[in-house]
């Protein structure tokens, strides 16, 4: 049997694992896959993005674990490609490099007041409450009674829901300990979730909005006027007949017709409003939000928001901007600033002249942008794997040196966390959590994570 082709995947989130599975799960071309992550822990956004009260969604990690058990798979955690090791250095040891680094930052709103104290990207709040080591020291002033969440995607819904959950509900999840403590003391009583278009265009999915209407500690409040469809949306829905959208609008309109039950918190879901300014007090802290009412207009076949003359101000002490993630450039890899993605054709990375770079691939959000659910990354990874295997068969991959990358890592004094070491850390987290009736208690401190992975008694 011929020597396996050596493949490095950078980023151990869902896209990285699905890609590893597609490569290791075929038998035609022998491959060895090294899956790198800059953190000591695998699973990417399943660990640091999926909401702690959505434990079921995290069961996808079982399929990642099956991939990790395949012959030819290695996990190399705590290796920062682009910092500790350059892409060029890595390239000397592999026939193919695949980047599955996701979208690590947030999109900006571009309105005055965006950087006031108390205005945060929702992505940072999510990373903080999920125990991402880079965000553990972030501070969010939960003494504010009113909070605005800008955007109506599933991330905005997650943030609003976590703010509305009772401390008892949160205590049953794997929310980071520091967040559990802070949310226990939270004085938040009102959350305003703000959509710039109407119910038919809301980016959240139906089960997610339905769940907002079933919260133990918060009433969902929607004004019937804002829940009603404008003539353009109604016409578009009638013409397309998209069942998912019809159901979503139904759920929203049913909730709008409901009397509040007088629960301790109130969650206002608004439509057809855009923030035009985040207002500050004389200390430079958020004190409110200026909104403009929108109407929908047809722009090249899709309905977009156009501002009217009608404005309002809402007093809020905290703002989460949840208008989408954005990819970050990796030194040594082409990047399109406009889309925040790596230019590619079916996963083959393209150079500035539009030609494929031999042995260079992308998968997941850095390939197609931050959209879709976890499962969307499966066919996406399938496409990239097919391109790579086709190039391998055609002799189009890069020709590396004979040494495995271990030689380079050792020379640089880098000691990656292995899969077996991660399993030890995971067992430690599970045991700690289950003793308190939680799925796990995450280790957040990087040094502690390393020590625990290496079997040290903590
Ligand atoms: P998203 O789904 O793209 O939603 C972004 C939201 O921001 C949209 O409502 C968008 O409105 C709004 N927006 C954009 N620019 C704006 C502006 N300038 N002013 C006001 N609003 C603005 O992004 P996301 O919520 O970050 O989620 C990312 C992906 O992860 C999505 O595919 C999502 O479904 C997925 N996800 C899934 C789950 C789950 O399955 N439970 C949980 C979390 C995330 P327009 O539509 O008008 O542009």
Decide if pLDDT at 455 tops 90. Answer: no
pLDDT digits (tens, 9 = 90+) for 304-348: 999 999 999 999 999 999 999 999 999 999 999 999 999 999 999
Whether the CB of 193 sits within 6 Å of ligand 1: no
pLDDT at 241: 83
* pLDDT-above-70 percentage for the chain: 99
Whether the CB of 371 sits within 6 Å of ligand 1: yes
Whether the CB of 370 sits within 6 Å of ligand 1: yes
Whether the CB of 109 sits within 6 Å of ligand 1: yes
Residues 127, 135 contacting (CB under 8 angstroms): yes
pTM, to two decimals: 0.96
Ligand 1 midpoint to CA 157 (Å): 9
Whether the CB of 321 sits within 6 Å of ligand 1: no
Decide if pLDDT at 426 tops 90. Answer: yes
pLDDT at 50: 98
Q: How confident is residue 457, by pLDDT bands cut at 50, 70 and 90? A: very low
Q: How confident is residue 363, by pLDDT bands cut at 50, 70 and 90? A: very high
Whether the CB of 374 sits within 6 Å of ligand 1: no
The ligand 1 atom nearest the CA atom of 156:
25
Which segment of 111-115, 426-430, 448-452, 453-457 scores lowest on mean pLDDT?
Answer: 453-457
Residues 112, 278 contacting (CB under 8 angstroms): yes
pLDDT at 458: 47
Whether the CB of 326 sits within 6 Å of ligand 1: no
Q: How confident is residue 456, by pLDDT bands cut at 50, 70 and 90? A: low
Nearest-CA residue for atom 13 of ligand 1: 323
Residues 328, 129 contacting (CB under 8 angstroms): no
Decide if pLDDT at 192 tops 50. Answer: yes
pLDDT digits (tens, 9 = 90+) for 72-95: 999 999 999 999 999 999 999 999
Q: How confident is residue 1, by pLDDT bands cut at 50, 70 and 90? A: low
Q: What is the mean pLDDT of residues 118-143?
A: 97
Whether the CB of 274 sits within 6 Å of ligand 1: yes
Nearest-CA residue for atom 36 of ligand 1: 154
pLDDT at 451: 83
* Alpha carbon of residue 80 to chain centroid: 19
pLDDT at 387: 98
pLDDT at 257: 86
pLDDT at 237: 94
Q: What is the mean pLDDT of residues 197-202?
A: 98
Ligand 1 midpoint to CA 151 (Å): 6
Q: What is the mean pLDDT of residues 31-37?
A: 98
What are phi and psi for residue 415, nearest 5 degrees?
Answer: -115, 95
Mean residue pLDDT across the chain:
96
* pLDDT-above-90 percentage for the chain: 94
Tokens representing 386 are 């097919």
pLDDT digits (tens, 9 = 90+) for 170-191: 999 999 999 999 999 999 999 9
Q: Distance (Å, rounded) from C-alpha 185 to C-alpha 447? A: 28
pLDDT at 2: 76
Nearest-CA residue for atom 38 of ligand 1: 154
How much of the chain is helix, strand and coil, in % rounded to 5? 35, 25, 40
Tokens representing 157 are 């819904």
Q: What is the mean pLDDT of residues 201-209?
A: 97
pLDDT digits (tens, 9 = 90+) for 9-29: 999 999 999 999 999 999 999
Decide if pLDDT at 51 tops 80. Answer: yes
E-strand ranges in 253-404 read 265-270, 273-280, 286-299, 302-314, 318-321, 325-326, 344-345, 348-350, 356-362
The ligand 1 atom nearest the CA atom of 371:
32
Count CB-CB contacts under 10 A for residue 23: 27
pLDDT digits (tens, 9 = 90+) for 149-173: 999 999 999 999 999 999 999 999 9
């Amino acid at each position: 049997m011929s020597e396996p082709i050596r493949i490095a995947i950078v980023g151990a989130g869902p896209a990285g694992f699905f890609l590893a599975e597609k490569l290791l799960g075929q038998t035609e071309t022998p491959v060895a896959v090294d899956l790198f992550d800059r953190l000591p822990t695998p699973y990417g956004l399943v660990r640091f993005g999926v909401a702690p009260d959505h434990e079921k969604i995290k069961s996808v990690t079982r399929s990642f674990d099956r991939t990790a058990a395949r012959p030819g798979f290695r996990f190399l955690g705590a290796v920062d490609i682009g910092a500790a090791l350059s892409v060029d250095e890595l390239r000397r040891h592999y026939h193919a490099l695949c980047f599955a680094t996701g979208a690590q930052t947030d999109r900006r709103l571009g309105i005055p007041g965006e950087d006031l104290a108390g205005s945060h990207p929702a992505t940072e709040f999510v990373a903080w409450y999920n125990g991402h080591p880079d965000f553990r020291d972030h501070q969010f002033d939960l003494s504010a009674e009113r909070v605005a969440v800008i955007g109506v995607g599933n991330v905005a819904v997650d943030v609003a829901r976590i703010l509305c959950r009772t401390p008892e509900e949160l205590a049953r999840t794997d929310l980071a300990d520091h967040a559990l403590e802070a949310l226990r003391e939270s004085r938040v009583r009102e959350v305003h979730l703000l959509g710039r278009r109407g119910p038919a265009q809301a980016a959240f999915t139906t089960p997610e909005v339905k769940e907002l209407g079933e919260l133990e500690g918060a009433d969902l409040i929607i004004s019937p006027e804002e829940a009603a469809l404008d003539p353009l949306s109604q016409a578009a829905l009638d013409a397309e007949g998209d069942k998912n959208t019809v159901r979503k609008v139904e759920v929203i309109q049913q909730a709008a017709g409901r009397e509040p039950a007088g629960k301790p918190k109130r969650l206002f879901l608004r439509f057809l409003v855009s923030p035009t300014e985040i207002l500050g007090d004389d200390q430079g802290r958020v004190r409110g939000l200026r909104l403009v009412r929108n109407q929908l207009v047809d722009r090249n076949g899709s309905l977009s928001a156009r501002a009217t003359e009608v404005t309002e101000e809402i007093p809020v002490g905290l703002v989460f901007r949840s208008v989408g993630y954005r990819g970050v450039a990796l030194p040594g890899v082409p990047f399109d600033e406009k889309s925040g993605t790596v230019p590619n054709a079916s996963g083959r990375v393209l150079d500035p002249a539009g030609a494929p770079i031999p042995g260079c691939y992308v998968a997941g959000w850095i390939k197609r942008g931050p959209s879709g659910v976890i499962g969307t990354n499966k066919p996406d990874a399938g496409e990239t794997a097919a391109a790579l295997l086709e190039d391998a068969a055609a002799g189009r991959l890069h020709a590396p040196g004979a040494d495995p990358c271990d030689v380079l890592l050792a020379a640089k004094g880098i000691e990656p966390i292995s899969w077996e070491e991660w399993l030890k850390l995971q067992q430690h987290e599970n045991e700690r959590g289950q003793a308190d009736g939680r799925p796990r208690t995450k280790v957040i401190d990087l040094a502690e994570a390393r020590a625990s992975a290496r079997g040290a008694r903590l």
